[in-house]
Amino acid sequence: MERFSGTSASESIRRAIAAGSDAFGHDWTPDRVAIASGRIELIGNHIDYNGGPVLAAAIDRFVAVAASNDAGRAPTLRATAADVPGEGIASLAASDLAGWRNDANAPRTFDYARGLLAAMREQEPAVSPRLPASIAIAGDVPIGLGLSSSAALCVALALALTSGIDSDRQLVLLAQEAEHRAGTPCGTMDQSASVAGGVIAFDGAALEVERLSPALGDLVFVVADSGVDRSLGASSYPTRVAESREALGLARAALGLPIPHLAAITPEQLGALDRMDALTPLLLRRVRHVVEETGRVAVAREALGRADWQRFGTLMTASGRSSATLYEISHPDVESLVAEALAVEGVLGARMMGGGEGGTALILLHAGAVPSLEATLRAGYYRERDMENRNGLLTRCAFAPGATLIERSAGVGLA
């Protein structure tokens, strides 16, 4: 737990254990606890599934899954969640979940556990489920704000409920498959950031991760809630994925080249596609965003290496504008929030973040400017929407360690 000193991870663990005790009896004691973080996407919006690079970071908001072996019980999973008490206790039999996929519109908390058990049966036969077991879930990754709460949950579930995972990549892919089966379309960047921890450069083509160690100095990242609810499964994310696939097929045919993914298209090839009218205006906008965003990430990584955060903030802002105008994945309210934040002295950059169509804005600023930012937004954007008195509108983020499994057998107290 030393890795998480000064974070909210211990509180999430405490609440998970308390929820388990309430649900399963006061003598219930976990023998392992998995911790996984949410993430912020620094730059590289919607290009991971197009084979492009992304800079992202694990943040100090966590999901904790406390688990206990249920000796003498049938090979089932009993689950409860501190933050959704109305769900009660779910009892899931792995044998009943062969081929399971969520047919509902929006996944519920225990659907991710169902997805994990189904994925283990069919996708990862070398990975063994730790059943029978009972688990309790708690966390403070806000839901619906583009901070990858579902990825954090699935990574934590996979760590707590499996044996035989021998690599970070295997863990990432298993967590992704659990999300897919639960009904959340996603790539692997979110899970990769949660597993790796800190700041990462994510290669969307090779699905590889490089850990980075930038020095922020007196700067911080703040996530500002727009008040517009969004969910990945209900957003235009699936539509953009389909558009990207269509554009890639047309680009390959027009250029006569085996282009592996949209992010591999060069600016010169993009110009040729434009002159040839090979793409509809809509698809051309989508491809232009991917190509230009890929270039921005490369420049942003160089800036990050030099600790040139002024340049990085400018690139963040340009990324957000492209996401709004070319990829058309933002929301008018989010863009208003971004514009108001950019007018605050000490703000270096701001952009919409995540799947889009609501959620949050990511803001890079000097730490001393945070009070001014909050006062400005509460007096302006939030007051206009009758939100000025709400708590938790701004979330100040620090970089966090990677996902961890703590086991009682290792001599670590879990209570």
Per the annotation, the verdict on 190 as an active-site residue is yes
The domain containing residue 261 runs over which residues? 219-397
Indicate whether 226 and 203 sit together in one domain.
no
From 48, 190, 203, 225, the catalytic residue: 190
Indicate whether 194 and 237 sit together in one domain.
no
Indicate whether 174 and 247 sit together in one domain.
no
Does residue 57 sit within a domain?
yes
140: CATH = 3.30.230.10
Number of domains in the chain: 2
pLDDT score at 146: 77
Token digits of residue 185: 């379309």
308: CATH = 3.30.70.890
Q: Are 220 and 367 in contact (CB under 8 A)?
A: yes
At 280-338, the pLDDT tens digits run 999 999 999 999 999 999 999 999 999 999 999 999 999 999 999 999 999 999 999 99
For 256-285, letters b (16+ CB in 10 Å) and e give eeebebbbbbeeebbeebeeeebbeeebbb
Does residue 261 sit within a domain?
yes
At 372-388, the pLDDT tens digits run 999 999 999 999 999 99
At 228-287, the pLDDT tens digits run 876 544 568 789 999 999 999 999 999 999 999 999 999 999 999 999 999 999 999 999
Region 142-154 average pLDDT: 86
Indicate whether 179 and 85 sit together in one domain.
yes
Q: Which residues contact 25 (CB under 8 A, 6 or more apart)?
A: none
Indicate whether 264 and 305 sit together in one domain.
yes
Say yes or no to pLDDT of 354 above 80: no
At 100-118, the pLDDT tens digits run 999 877 889 999 999 999 9
- What is the pTM for the complete model shown? 0.89
Does residue 415 sit within a domain?
no
Percentages helix, strand, coil for the chain (3-state, rounded to 5) are: 45, 20, 35
